[in-house]
Structure 1
Amino acid sequence: MRLSPRLKYISELVSDGKKIADIGTDHGYIPISLLLDKKISFAILSDINRGPLNNAKKEVTKNNVQNYVDLRLGSGMETLRDGEVDQVIIAGMGGILIFEIIEKKIELSKKLDKLILQPMQAPEELRKYLLKNGFKIIDEHFVREEHRIYEIIEAVFDEEFLSEYQGDEYSEKKTYTQYIYSLFENNSDKLIYTNPYYENIKKKINHIVKNHILKMVNRNDKTVNDNVFDENIIERKAIEENIIKEKTIERNILERNEIAENTIEKNLENEISKLYFEVSKLMIAKRDKLFEEFLEKKIYECESIVLKMTGINVKDLDDTTFETHNENVKSKVEQVVIRKIILDLLKYDIK
């Protein structure tokens, strides 16, 4: 059986010899293919609608695998009983619907060897749910099908991980934030924008980042030298010297600017928090061949949002843009620009 690239990639993540359930199975292509390849011994094909399940039944009969499947009509994983399967596939649905399906059978989900999840939208909401509820994301993947890049998540419940997450919810996020800050330290001067608005915001972020690092140096905080991501972080002595030289000039720039530093800092923190769930540390560490294209798509989304809000292309954006717009629009554009700058730095860093 020939599968589409997306379905083929998902099927390859199923472990050999396992019993699986395919939730929202539609035509049942993944489990049937796995049975034909003798990779699995048994599969439950479940769907909430009778039409797709009838399609799956036809495919099962056509491929003569009736003795190795069970077709079930019902919602989500509510068709499953404890111990029936080892791994569950939930693909082709929105991220919110996927986590709602898991939540309704949370205890069963915790006992599985693995969840293989492929959200069509809102993957960041799915990641938030998984982490909050103790499901450790063990791997993430990109796969291209036609003009779209899909994200696939492998997750497993981990009691120890749940305790760590609930004990210090933001420990990993702090490391992630430090990585983003290191990008500004190491690469910001290499990222040149043609319009002054972008350059102005970038300079303000640099000022915030340097002050943050200086505080950490003064506290002798070891997390500054965390080398999970920031292998090329500037030496502490150099940071202090640069800040001493630039502090007065940059402070004057900030005082003259309409946007307060604390607003920039808050927006920076908010955008990093969002990206923590959208561009995960696993994605960054793996440097998947589709990762750059994935970032480009997000950058394009930022540019489109700015155009939609202001009617102006990003390359023509400047402070005079907001003379005819209210403060709410100005604040929203600032957030999007901060997000775009971070994404630009991520893209630069992986090249």
Structure 2
Amino acid sequence: MTATDAPTTPTPTGPVPAGPDGTSLATRLRSLNVGSVLVEGRALVALVLIIAVFAVLSDNYLDPGNLVTITKQVAFNAIIALGMLMVILNGGIDLSVGSTVGLTGAVAGNLFRGIDMPLTQAIMFPKVWVIVVLSVAVGALVGYLNGLLISRLRLAPFIVTLGMLYVGRGLTEVLLDGQNITNELRGQEGLGNTGFFEVFASRPLGLPISAWVMVALAVLASILLVRSPFGRWLYASGSNERAAELSGVPVTQVKTRIYVIAGVCAGIVGVLQIANISSATADLGQFYELNAIAAVVIGGAALSGGRGTVKGTIIGAFVIGFLANGLVIVGVSPFWQQVITGAVIILAVAVDQIQQIAQRRGAAKRAVAEARTAAAGAA
């Protein structure tokens, strides 16, 4: 709505009426606005409080080196969370992204080892960019299979992605055969497949490459959700799939594409992670799916679909990262770290539900008041 077609609201010239408790209407509106801002921006408020508390408890918490470490770890979680946001906006869930990270790392590690050519004794060593593209393509393939089973066969996302979690983890074990891949990742000068660590473990302008990838993907995701028809289709199908379908939204294609996006994000993290730890391991990516879901929920997205933002998801990822790092720095037991992180997630979901209940009650009260006003006018 532009400024020219916005409806004008008469400005009251008389005294503002007081409420039943004696407070003026203006005072109650101001308190309501402050409360709404705090609820809507709860992820940012939580992040500020976490930083303030741990900065007081530890002098090293805001050390530049520690902040870079936090940013690097947050970037991995945030990239996966961006893909998870797309899925949750549609009302789905993807439990396979963690195992997809591990599978992608195993595929990249084996490609660095070389590919045995059939019917010959030759071994082909792909270029680094080919390895990266093929590894991310594996993640896209996993996402495509998830989307195909969910959208075409109408299978439950929870069941499909849970099964794919086991499939991905099993294939990772098969590819690695119980051994970590380390030295092969550096490549060989004579084969022309060196430079992997120089690119993906580098720190342009002092920040890890994963942070720059996170920023780039966040910008692309924002454009996709806000500026493209796909974003409008996604929000519409997540809010009411049947109504969106009747309105001409290609619900099936949208559902397939979001799982492909989630798989691509997991594939990118798999490549970045093996560069980060200098090896491909069987347990790579464990629990990443839970951290991604937590980041999306803490960022204000609704698990029922139709509501969520890129900005909130990124802030949610930073909340988890700063909280986990702070607990480690102050010496909290790893067992209690899990308890505290879980409690924060539950609290975020509870606040979201309370907000929705309050909104429904407010809408009901307004509807009753408008009905009474209309009835009085008619009388």
Higher relative contact order (Cα pairs below 8 Å, separated by 6+ residues)? 2
Higher strand share: 1
Q: Shared topology, TM-score over 0.5?
A: no
Give me the TM-score of the superposition, normalised by structure 1. Answer: 0.27
